Amino acid sequence: MARIEKDVIIHATTQEIDEFAINARTWPEWSTGVEAVEVDHIFPEKGGKLNLKYKSAGLTFDIQFTTREIVHGSHVIWDMEGMINGYQHWTYVPAGGGAVKVSCLFEYTVPGGGLGALADKLIVERMNTANIESTLANLKKMVEG
């Protein structure tokens, strides 16, 4: 299982961050690799589902996110199923001076056995890491203006 962990400091309240971070309809605007989203009437609350088209390393992945746990202003965990399986855990920690440290932990597997694991190590993991770094930078820009 690949593990990617990145964070960014955002000068805003958790509510201001959540206007984008858990509002999936905004993701194609700032979340690198997200091409399209379809949300149910529950998402992002527990049990809510989101169908997402995600592009990485030239491939488009259909992924379903299900909210496993959400504590507004603290963290959210989304389970992912489809062409990538795993989860994302986003956390908010006060960083002083009115700032918040936003962290993303992304653990996943790419199907395909040994060949999928090799492709992940050579290409997909590097692209996913770059996409998460870009996503966090874009979130900061969206929230801070």
pLDDT for 102 beyond 90: yes
CATH of the domain at 89: 3.30.530.20
Bridge-based pairing state of the strands 85-96 and 99-109: antiparallel
- In this structure, of 35-39, 56-60, 103-107, the range with the lowest mean pLDDT score is 56-60
Q: At what angle do helices 14-21 and 125-144 cross, to 10 degrees?
A: 130
For residue 99, is pLDDT > 90?
Answer: yes
User: Does 38 score more than 60 pLDDT?
Assistant: yes
Q: How many domains does the chain have?
A: 1
Which pLDDT tens digit goes with each residue over 114-138?
555 555 555 677 888 899 999 999 9
Q: Is the pLDDT of residue 52 over 80?
A: yes
Q: Is the pTM of this model over 0.75?
A: yes
How far apart, in Å, are the Cα atoms of 113 and each of 1, 102, 132? 11, 33, 24
> What contacts 115, CB < 8 A, 6 or more positions away?
none
Q: What is the pLDDT of residue 36?
A: 97
Range of the domain at 9: 2-144
Determine the pLDDT at residue 110: 72
Q: What is the pLDDT of residue 114?
A: 56
